[in-house]
Amino acid sequence: MTEQRIHITQGEYATASVPDVYISTLLGSCVSCCLWDPVAGVGGMNHMLLAKSPAATVRTLSGIHAMEMLINDLIKQGARKDRLSAKAFGGARMIKGLSDIGSQNAEFTVGYLSQECIPLVTQSLGGTHARTLRFWPATGRVMQKLTDTRVVDVETAPVAAPGHGVELF
């Protein structure tokens, strides 16, 4: 049987209850929260860009919106909030010298889960590497791969001359 992949990006979430479906994403400073109800066999993952939204136009990228949308969709599919468990990933500091939005995203996620009494059973937050995730929502299984992308010091990073050293696809 071939597994089916659902890929999500910033501001998106996905849920599923089929064992051969997994949800994937790529994270830098963003955070993804994987929630699942093992009794109902349903789960989902979101991709949060910002802990808090600075304007109504980016509300869908904020943490509170992402968490509420994911939890509400899981409940519609038969999950119960008191049976949910969580795994959280991301929140890396990707560019040295700029604000550390990654740690703000991680702090929001941990705080939100604590406030809502949802146990955080696994976390891989912070650091300086991007992460690729695969989450099987029916079982709660997660695979994480740290990428070779490390923190970049914007003050000392070399600047390529226009048209040299950059390949677009």
pLDDT single digits (tens) 77-129: 999 999 999 999 999 998 777 778 899 999 999 999 999 999 999 999 999 88
| Beta-strand relationship, 21-27 and 141-146 | unpaired
Which of residues 84 and 56 earns the better pLDDT score?
84
Contact 103, 159 (CB under 8 A): no
Confidence band of 58 (pLDDT split at 50, 70, 90): very low
Active site residue 117: no
- 27-35: average pLDDT: 95
Contact 16, 44 (CB under 8 A): yes
- % of the chain at pLDDT higher than 90: 66
Confidence band of 150 (pLDDT split at 50, 70, 90): low
For residue 96, what pLDDT is reported? 76
Amino acid at site 58: V
Model-level pTM?
0.82
What is the spatial distance between Cα 136 and Cα 42, in angstroms, rounded to a whole number? 9
Among 30, 33, 34, 117, which one carries the catalytic annotation? 30
Confidence band of 1 (pLDDT split at 50, 70, 90): low
Helices and strands counted in the chain (H then E): 2, 11
For residue 162, what pLDDT is reported? 43
The SS3 of residue 163 is coil
For residue 154, what pLDDT is reported? 45
Q: Which CATH class is domain 4-148?
A: alpha beta
For residue 55, what pLDDT is reported? 52
